[in-house]
Amino acid sequence: MRLATLLAPLPSYELHGSAEVEIGHITSDSRQVGPGALFVAVPGISVDGHHYIPDAVSRGAAAIVTERAVALPSSIPLVVTPNSREALAYLSASWHGYPARSLRVIGVTGTDGKTTTANLIRSILETAGHRTGLISTVNAVIGDTVLDTGLHTTTPDAPDVQRYLAEMVRTGTEYAVLESTSHGLAQGRVTACEFDVAVVTNVTHEHLDFHGSHEAYVAAKARLFRFLSESERKLGVPKVAILNADDAHYPLLRAIPADRHLAYGLDAPGDVTASAVCTLPHGLSFQAHTPVGDFAVQSPLVGRFNVYNCLAAIAVGASQGISLAAMQEGIARLAAVSGRMERIDEGQDFVAIVDFAHTPYALEQALRAARGLAAPGGRVIAVFGSAGLRDKQKRAWMGRVAAGQADLTVLTAEDPRTESLDGIMEQMAEGCRAGGGVEGRTFWRIGDRAEAIAFAVGMARAGDVVMACGKGHERSLCFGTTEYPWNEQEVMRESLRRLPERRR
């Protein structure tokens, strides 16, 4: 493809050299550069792609995209753009023929509940007969193909997102549901996705290590809604904003233009609401009230927070003209999402759960849900950590939450990276103590995560709930700079299998 064709969607750039060169592929990794490649130099958190331009040139790059002028051989065109991360997204979309323009694209953002909400939306659309693809932090689902999207929770890089969208178009997909993290939004990974519907679950405290401030974090989430007015208009397809009326940031997001706004919630007035809410150990039920009619909802998902996720998905369904019956059945069909309040059953006489809760709000909601799963007189035993090189402010906060919501707590590792694990656990322990916890009696520190889970399982009595939080679906545990294989579900199962036979 000619460089000139690829550059067409870029909002702003300066070209030094010929735009007539042929490009064979696009990459931001100099190690993947070969003859004819377009190398995009992307500045990262720890590595700046601009440092690898000489390597890309030596490997045969046909053109270079940068954020600043650099000296190149006269035969190699230089494209200077204000934001090479976003340029990478536009270039990738151009390379694949703008696939999002052939799809209805639904973006889901928020601090908690994104993956479950995205899966609920997909289930509703599929039940209604629409071929629907999904790109989440857990996996990408395209037709009958399920692809792993990474080790840790973030939106895939822009080239992968556009490749997935192109494959959806090729396989006849109508809708694409994209889980859009704050990192993914801030780093341009979902730029050029031509969103038609933007959904927010909630916005609470998280990722301040990356964004620098809560205001910057909120602004990143708001980008999804600003994309509605910036995206390509598709014939007869309105731009719709789905908002949580109970969230403190509702007024800010409601002010962003869209063709239609739909608010959902349980407390504040909204377009999609619920009554007769009942949360039980094996699911939830409520009466949904929508602009297109009311219907009864039964879901195998547990916890009041999942009522919000269901309402958000219902609001999307209502905006897309989905029948009440399809919305009702689509919600009932979704039995579980990997690592989201996932029960692990080896015949034990207590409840064991793996959940992804890794923020103070999510941990509080998960532990409250766990309380509802315990038998009368049963205890809630929580196992969790807090990631290294990430938001430090939440560590003590999560300790306080656990002290208030769990009966027993085991503090452990959650990707400490190059930080001191002992230091991280001490910060969480400070929160436990501040919340009234007593070390050795109501909370413990066990740095080995597998040992921590086994310890919690060993303490459990009949009717208790043991909940391991923070890893969920993730398949690695990072110590130093090494990602070690990890499967929380299997670790929990192994601990349960080691129980005496009488307990199983």
H-type alpha helices, 73-213: 84-95, 114-127, 158-170, 182-186, 208-211
CATH code for residues 3-94? 3.40.1390.10
d(CA 402, CA 69): 51
Strands (E), 344-421: 351-355, 380-384, 408-411
| List of residues 6+ apart from 435 with CB closer than 8 A | 399, 400, 401, 402, 403, 404
State pTM to two decimals.
Answer: 0.87
CA torsion 432-455-497-152 (nearest 10°) is: 50
CATH class for the domain made up of 342-503: alpha beta
Q: Which two tokens stand for residue 357?
A: 């809760």
Amino acid making up residue 223: R
Lateral strand order in the sheet of 37-40: 14-16, 78-80, 63-66, 37-40, 25-27
Q: What is the pLDDT of residue 109?
A: 94
Q: Which two tokens stand for residue 281?
A: 């150990």
Q: Which long-range contacts (CB under 8 A, 24 or more apart) does 325-329 make?
A: 325/295, 326/124, 326/127, 326/128, 326/129, 327/124, 327/127, 327/288, 327/295, 328/295, 328/296, 328/297, 328/298, 329/127
Nearest to 410 by CA among 379, 376, 447: 447
d(CA 143, CA 204): 34
Assess whether pLDDT exceeds 70 at residue 502.
no
d(CA 460, CA 18): 69
Query: Tokens 């919630």 sit at which residue?
Result: 265
- 96-333: CATH topology: UDP-N-acetylmuramoyl-L-alanine:D-glutamate ligase (3.40.1190)
d(CA 146, CA 472): 18
- Per-residue pLDDT tens digits for 247-263: 999 999 999 999 999 99
Q: What is the mean pLDDT of the chain?
A: 93
Q: Classify residue 93 as left (phi > 0), alpha (psi -120 to 50) or beta.
A: alpha
Assess whether pLDDT exceeds 60 at residue 208.
no
Domain-wise residue ranges, the chain: 3-94, 96-333, 342-503
Nearest to 453 by CA among 440, 441, 469: 469
- Per-residue pLDDT tens digits for 423-440: 999 999 999 999 999 999
- Per-residue pLDDT tens digits for 372-426: 999 999 999 999 999 999 889 899 999 999 999 999 999 999 999 999 999 999 9
Cβ 103 vs Cβ 173: under 8 Å: yes
Assess whether pLDDT exceeds 60 at residue 66.
yes
Q: Which long-range contacts (CB under 8 A, 24 or more apart) does 436-439 make?
A: 436/403, 436/404, 437/399, 437/402, 437/403, 437/409
H-type alpha helices, 259-389: 304-319, 324-333, 360-373
Q: What is the pLDDT of residue 503?
A: 64
d(CA 48, CA 32): 16
Q: Which two tokens stand for residue 40?
A: 């995009």
Q: Which two tokens stand for residue 157?
A: 């890089």
